[in-house]
Chains A and B, each alone.
Chain A
């Protein structure tokens, strides 16, 4: 394990010397993220197939998606990922807890801002008449973007939990890295979804 003044070492359990050379929580999270990638790949496949059946895409009479506003929002999310990256770096250095805490807070705020802006866009689209039942277009939009938003909210909750424990000094380096992996996944999958759902 990396020596660090900020994060605790992995808790010793059971009095049995386990010396894993692979970080346990990170490996678990990576496998979970792999399953999630397949989940999103399934949604995107469905979207591609449904689009190929349509005569026009987006279907006539349906509102257009806010491409430019969402592009800006994508930048917000990417910024959040970048800030979290630096929070991880800060936590790995000695005496970096306060800096790590500040950056973690900034990353969570940016992530929450992304979700909020998405929510505002949804409200506007609903007002324009794009609903889950109005067309395949609407169904897939709310399905894919909604599922991503649900992941973002869950990951933000995990980040907040990690923040509390970091403030208390009970966060292990392994657990923090695992939560970061989850957020990087939420950040990393979004540009792909943006291209598929908004641009294509």
Chain B
């Protein structure tokens, strides 16, 4: 096999390469990053449409949903399950870690590509296959898997219970392939950052978002093994007929929760850390101020990564675990809010006294802090085992984790896309449309999930197809809240049309920009927009940290990392 194309010969052969080798089978980290991002965007639209369908069923039970039709109970389960799986595994992970990681890491550390470019391409190809398998599973005989994204056995373990003889194994296969893809990607990220940095890019000069993606990758790789082990056992239960999770045959359904949540909770921080990294990059640029306490933020993200291995059993407070263990996990769960709170305080301190410019990326970054705080604060009630026993599996939980995941997967992603769009495509997004999209999304997002806190506190359980069979849970007040949430969701989805229009219009017709439209310091802004294959004409040398804004006695208020003093 020949070595990957080099930066030098690309200059000669770039034009000669076909569409397929340039955009589909490319080993260029930027193309792969964008592939991940576009795949994630398509999956987000699919996941959003699923949310629309099942929210319509909840607000207007047993009526025909426009653009879909009548929702059966089994379809409802499949929709809820796949909405959750898609949004976490096929939207948050690919866009935030794989997409941004691929696009940003080599550019930000001053390098021409990943250290394993072909492994990188393989990673995207496996991911793409996993997405296709997941979508195919929805059309399989018996319908898509409907056992919730957590796939608890015995429901998930046997077609006798879940009635999806094809949907369940295909879903599991898709998830497993997706993990393999991210394992390859994560190895690539870590090794690239350790081994391929530009001269002078010492550990304390690496932009915080790169650090966070690396820490997230390490947490992912250290936590995913037990889940893959559990998934192999579940797949054998479904396909071969073993009974690992069947208590009748000496198995244990709790075992799955044990292995699943060992991965499942670190996973939350795996997607959270890159999102906070994005926010850190953006607020320094738009506050024109040095990032407050770089080392503290780095330390808190490492601490978050470490503690994230000790919190997972808080998902099992009502599953029948040892009460002493529950107490310990309550303490660790409350502890993990300390480094995160510290990180948020560091962000606010960065803003303090800065000359803040409320451009669209900055609005998204600030919204991330505000909305994520709501998610964090409501999490305290769920992390404490005493209150969790009441709130468990209610819409309060749903609202809580949407207040964490929506800021992570949607708000931070929009922040990142609006901020790095000029670098990705060499053109600027329309600012007016961006602001309209921002306010429409944020207001309607809150209007969806604040009502759900109330219905959850009133006792409405999640994963119920229709509350009409539960008179105490379908009071007029609760029904009105459900309708409010659903209408807000439709508004939110409509506002995404503005984004898509803005995105694709600006990609071709937007105002062209130079290399550094935001006057930012990090290395990616020293490359042309969009950067060519190989990224930099001459490889940069780094002279200082990434956040030297508003340095006194300097003419410019920024001081790029690659400019000699």
Contacts and interface: CB of A to CB of B under 8 A. Distances in A.
Query: Direct contact between A and B in the complex (CB less than 8 angstroms)?
Result: yes
Interface stretch (A33-41, A64-72, A81-89): A33-41
Contact of A11 (B3, B221, B228): B3
Contacts of B252: 49-50, 53
Interface string B251-264: 11001001100100
B183 interface: yes
Contacts of A17: 539
Contact of A136 (B115, B228, B244): B244
Contacts of B299: none
Nearest to B112: A14
A147 interface: yes
B226 A41 contact: yes
Interface stretch (A23-31, A90-98, A121-129, A185-193): A23-31
A16 B534 CA distance: 10
A43 interface: yes
A34 B224 CA distance: 11
A59 B250 CA distance: 11
A43 to B, nearest CB: 5
Nearest to A51: B250
B303 to A, nearest CB: 20
Contacts of A59: 250
Given A27-B195, A46-B244, A135-B250, A143 B115 contact: no
A34 B226 contact: no
Contacts of B226: 38-39, 41-42, 45
A145 to B, nearest CB: 13
A1 B190 CA distance: 21
B191 A143 contact: no
B141 to A, nearest CB: 24
B224 A35 contact: yes
Interface in B169-191: 183, 186-188, 190-191
B116 to A, nearest CB: 6
Given A27-B194, A49-B258, A133-B240, A42 B249 contact: no
Nearest to A26: B191
A50 B250 contact: yes
Given A15-B8, A49-B252, A24 B244 contact: no
Contacts of B244: 46, 50, 136, 139-140
Contacts of B119: 28
A45 B262 CA distance: 12
Interface residues of B, number: 49
Interface in A132-183: 132-133, 135-136, 139-140, 143, 147
B7 A14 contact: yes
Interface residues of A, number: 39
**Most chain-A CB neighbours within 10 Å: which of B111, B112, B187, B196?**
B187
A50 B255 contact: yes
A41 B534 CA distance: 40
B5 to A, nearest CB: 9
B420 to A, nearest CB: 23
B451 to A, nearest CB: 39
Given A11-B3, A136-B243, A147 B232 contact: yes
B233 A16 contact: no
B176 to A, nearest CB: 11
Given A13-B3, A28-B116, A18 B196 contact: yes
**Most chain-A CB neighbours within 10 Å: which of B3, B191, B222, B255?**
B191
B564 to A, nearest CB: 18
Interface in B120-152: none
A54 B243 CA distance: 13
B323 interface: no
A22 to B, nearest CB: 6
Contacts of B242: 132-133, 139, 143
Given A18-B195, A45-B226, A35 B183 contact: yes
11 contacts: A14-B7, A14-B113, A14-B534, A18-B196, A22-B194, A22-B195, A50-B252, A132-B241, A133-B241, A139-B244, A143-B236
Interface of A: 11, 13-18, 20, 22, 24, 27-28, 31-32, 34-43, 45-46, 49-50, 53-54, 59, 132-133, 135-136, 139-140, 143, 147
Given A28-B188, A36-B225, A133-B242, 4 more contacts: A43-B229, A43-B232, A53-B250, A139-B243
